Chains A and B, each alone.
Chain A
Amino acid sequence: MPMPMPPNAFLLVSAILFTIGVVGVLSRRNPLVIFMSIELMLNAVNLSFMTFSSALHSVDGWIFVFLVLTVAAAEVVIGLAIIVSIFRSRQEIDVDDLNSMKG
């Protein structure tokens, strides 16, 4: 019978995913890809919540995951709407070009 993975391994995976997400946000220039990186961060957090929930035998973390998933879905709707409205008026979407305000 295989050994169950220890919680620390899940937490490590979660931390690595979160870091990949952060690096993605900071290094990519396409708003869609940046947004995908943010989603990766949120899902990394979900993994942490699940791990803690199992380890602590408490349901709070699971409930939190549902809330995060729901909110993330709502964020997608609004984010894509804003990205589309910019795309319509400019035909290109690179965050480096969003520079009409400075100082």
Chain B
Amino acid sequence: MAFTYAISGGDWARIAPELALLVAALLVMLVDALIPARLRGALVIIGVMGVLAALAGVIMLYASSGSPSAFGGMVTSDPLALFATLVILAATGLSLLLSPGYIERQGTRQQGEFYALVMLAATGMVLMAASTNLMMIFLGLELLSLPLYVLCAFAPGQQRAQESGMKYFLLSSFASGFLLYGMALIYGATGATNLGGINHFVATHAMSATAGFGPILLGGMALLAVGLAFKVSAIPFHAWTPDVYQGALTPVTALMSVGTKMAAFVALIRVFDVALAPVRADWQGIMWALAILTMVGGNILAATQTNVKRLLAYSSIAHAGYLLIGIALGTQAGIAALLYYMAAYAVMNVGAFGVVLALERVAGLGTNLDDYRGLASRRPALAAALAVFLFALAGIPGTAGFVAKYAIFAAAVTGGHAELTIIGVVASMIGFYYYLRVIWAMYFVPAPDMPAAEAANANPHLSLAGLNSAVVTKLAASGTPLAFSAGLALALALIGTLGLGIFPAPLISLARQAAGLP
């Protein structure tokens, strides 16, 4: 059988965002080798340029007409992929801007490698979101995971970072094994790796759970669901999340908490809500149970945390629960709500991690809840920003988080699953408790050092030693100044969080378009 297939220039244009990110990664590595060590901090500029170029590619693809499918149906640039790309680019851009200053403070010398790996991980995320074939989903997933393993273990000589990298590596590879076995069984049952082919087979063959291809397909769906549930850190596959998020460098945590989730949720949408839609009755129960377990469990576990980074990790698990409602519903309104939620989550979560990063000293010191006491009097701007991000994560009206929660709960009611809404609202109430705990510590609890420093200032006859200790206390209290780019990232995240809350309409219509709604 003769088989010819030509790759046209149009195919390459369809993956313009991926190419832009990849070229930026390669350029970072190339330039890194050519410039003196003291200039390496400037490599972040190449990364940000790459993100902007990818953004231009997304805008070009939104404007383009014709079939979005490319490379023989391997990848696509449909509105769903483009929306997910926008969210991933936002998270990548903000994480890059947060990095200068911080990664030097953590003792990192190889800044070139750091930025190159961030760009490669972003490439993998975008590629996974654009995949319409099981092979490409797997490749995209691995391209995003492999750089993240290294990035998690990146801080030199920090035990927690090494632990974080090791745990993520072992558990993520373990989950990849399940994911692959699921893909193999689905391929065996349907004879296709291409999602369109799988959908065609499932739609045209009646399935029996006990005979024929039925049991194999059921097993495949279950294993694939386990693999992807691990990636979005749904309970009971969440055990890695808090340790990995706490130990990794904070910009990396911010990137993976948003980018990996977005890519994996698009894969869940494409595989379950689209390709396997004809057998929805067989998988809906799993997603329904995962959503409830994750919402309730994530919020309860977060309420007991004393480390802010860890608290945000559990909060990201809880948010994965709300997002899973969109998958479990299986309706287009549910998918649109999920996408909007993800965009809102991107700005508010990266913003919250950004403030944590600004306050963090070396090796994860300064991330305990106790370190946030009296923050409002020491760093009022940062405290106010963190308060806005936490209010948004809790879902207070006027912020992006409220619109997102409203959209997803409304979709659950109209989709005939009011019980998910009720459980979701109750779980959000628990969420209020731990978000407000941080805000309470910042605004209403005095800092432990402050009385001593004030007493020293009040005494006019300070001894030299006393003066020194007061100065030291004051310096320690105010912490390191914020790098310009990190301030810019926080400002952008703040604008996004409030902007999406007050003017949600344009992004909601974009999300509806991505979900195939008019």
Q: Which residues of A contact B (CB under 8 A)?
A: 11, 18, 21-22, 25, 31, 34-35, 38, 41-42, 44-45, 48-49, 51-52, 55-56, 58, 60-61, 63-64, 67-68, 71, 74-75, 78-79, 81-83, 85-86, 89-90, 95, 98, 100-101, 103
Contact = CB atoms under 8 A, between A and B. Distances in A.
Contacts of B146: 74-75, 78
B163 A64 contact: no
A68 B307 CA distance: 38
Given A48-B181, A89-B157, A60 B193 contact: yes
Interface in B131-188: 134-135, 138-139, 142, 146, 149-150, 153, 157, 159-160, 162-167, 169-170, 173-174, 176-177, 180-181, 183-185, 187-188
A68 B169 contact: no
B170 A34 contact: yes
Contacts of B187: 49, 52, 60-61, 64
Contacts of A49: 184, 187
Interface stretch (B91-99, B241-249, B346-354): B241-249
Contacts of A100: 159-160, 163, 247
Contacts of A60: 135, 187, 192-194
B305 interface: yes
A68 to B, nearest CB: 6
B10 interface: no
B162 A78 contact: no
Main secondary structure of the interface of A (DSSP, over half): helix
22 contacts: A11-B188, A18-B177, A22-B177, A25-B170, A34-B170, A35-B173, A42-B176, A42-B177, A52-B187, A55-B188, A60-B135, A64-B138, A67-B138, A68-B180, A75-B169, A79-B173, A82-B149, A82-B165, A82-B169, A100-B160, A101-B163, A101-B310
Interface residues of B, number: 44
A63 B247 contact: no
Main secondary structure of the interface of B (DSSP, over half): helix
Contacts of B167: 98
Contact of A45 (B160, B181, B247): B181
Given A52-B184, A75-B146, A67 B174 contact: no
Contacts of B192: 60
A103 B310 contact: yes
Given A52-B187, A75-B173, A82 B159 contact: no
Interface string B74-89: 0000000000000000
B138 A101 contact: no
Given A38-B177, A41-B181, A95-B170, A56 B149 contact: no
